[in-house]
Structure formats: C-alpha cells, structure tokens
C-alpha cells in the first residue's frame, strides 16, 4: 500500500463522461442505454431521455406542420 491511488478501478473517468447536447445533463459513467446518440457534422452528440423524446416530438411536429 505504497501507492496513493485515490480512484481505484476507473482509469480515465473524463473519457467516458458524456453531456446532453440539449439540456446539459451530465453522465459521468458514459451514455446510459436510454440516451440517444446522434452524429452531426462529424461530432457525436448525446441526448438524455427527456431531450430525446422532446426531439422526436419536435421532429414529428415539424413533419406534421410541413404536411399542412
Ligand atoms: Zn437532456
């Protein structure tokens, strides 16, 4: 026990942390399976559950409005 390791078992926590591109919700342990990942302009963007639903509704709403 000579090494003063304060964070054992998790190498590079910053690598796996993802942030919701819409509301800014942060998930330190990587994107949960419930999150939505989309690639825009070569950049990965994650959306949390609420924002993903809101996004879908917004997209569907726009599609519907375009139909009128
Ligand atoms: Zn969000």
Ligand 1 midpoint to CA 64 (Å): 23
The pair of structure tokens assigned to 15 is 């690598």
User: Domain extents for the chain?
Assistant: 16-67
Pick left, alpha or beta for residue 2 (phi over 0 → left; psi -120 to 50 → alpha; otherwise beta). alpha
Cα 55 to middle of ligand 1, angstroms = 10
Q: Half-sphere exposure of residue 31, counting CA atoms within 13 Å on the CB side?
A: 18
Q: How many residues in total does the chain contain? A: 68
33 C-alpha to ligand 1 centroid (Å): 14
Residue ranges of the chain with pLDDT lower than 50?
13
Is beta strand 36-40 parallel, antiparallel or unpaired with respect to 43-47?
Answer: antiparallel
Q: How far is the CA of 29 from the centre of ligand 1 (A)?
A: 16
Closest listed residue to residue 18, CA positions, set 55, 43, 53 = 43
């Amino acid at each position: 026990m000579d090494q003063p390791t304060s964070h054992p078992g998790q190498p590079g926590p910053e690598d796996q942390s993802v942030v919701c591109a819409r509301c800014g919700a942060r998930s330190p342990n990587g994107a949960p399976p419930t999150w939505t990942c989309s690639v825009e302009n070569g950049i990965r963007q994650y959306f949390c559950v609420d924002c993903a639903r809101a996004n879908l509704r917004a997209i569907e709403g726009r599609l519907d409005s375009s139909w009128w």
